[in-house]
Amino acid sequence: MSEAKLREDICRFGRSLFERGLTPGSSGNISLRLDDGGWLVTPTNASLGFLDPARLARLDAQGQLVAGDAPTKEIPLHTALYETRAAAGAIVHLHSTHAVAVTMLPEIDPKSVLPPMTPYYLMRAGQTALVPYFRPGDPAVADAIKGLAGRYSSVLLANHGPVVAGETLEAAVFATEELEETAKLYLLLRGLNPRYLSPEQVSDLVRTFGLSLQEHGAHDH
Ligand SMILES: [Zn+2]
């Protein structure tokens, strides 16, 4: 795919996410790995709703800016996840309401934030790890993401938002949307004793679709 098309895609998906209220103001950022080892990254202080394809930050394989506006300050989130997930071709980070909300609940299991509620959450986002709160721009958040050793394609930063990797930009966007919708379902059903997918139903999905989910204790929430 040409770089021009990829630039258009970042702006198109960014606008779509922004217009549906999935990341407010100038929050959220998107990155995409290019064939030469470099990256396209959304600029700092840019709203995902109003991106200009010509002004996206173009980084070389060493992460140095070679063209466009300065990249998002949250670039360490992206590089840490790329470093530990070789197959990641794109990363989406949002400040989406429901996903942020669940990070603040007391019962959350950091190894698997959301229970197995729908097949598409498991198929697109897998399980989601919780990373503790860090002040924006604190480089320690990158170490926390690296500490997950690439076992998760979706991570939730406490009191902040999701960071989700996909093989393509479309896959990363769709997985982020599944994560947000699943967080919304969780909040809608919290306290109502809902029936989640059973261990047998999860095993069937894992076998059929070749999912790699982490072992973890049964959800008691
Ligand atoms: Zn953020």
Question: How much distance in Å is there from the Cα of 71 to the middle of ligand 1?
Answer: 13
pLDDT tens by residue, 20-40 = 999 999 999 999 999 999 999
Any catalytic annotation for residue 82?
Answer: no
CA of 54 relative to ligand 1 center, distance in Å: 23
Q: Which residues of the chain have pLDDT under 50?
A: 217-221
Catalytic residue among 120, 121, 152, 186: 120
- For residue 27, the CA-to-ligand 1 centroid distance in Å is 6
Residue 14 makes CB contacts below 8 A (sequence gap 6+) with: 28, 30, 42, 48, 49, 51
CA 66/CA 5 separation, integer angstroms: 19
Q: From ligand 1's centre to the CA of 72, what distance in Å? A: 9
pLDDT at 216: 53
pLDDT digits (tens, 9 = 90+) for 97-134: 999 999 999 999 999 999 999 999 999 988 999 999 99
Phi, psi of 165 (to 5 degrees): -105, 150
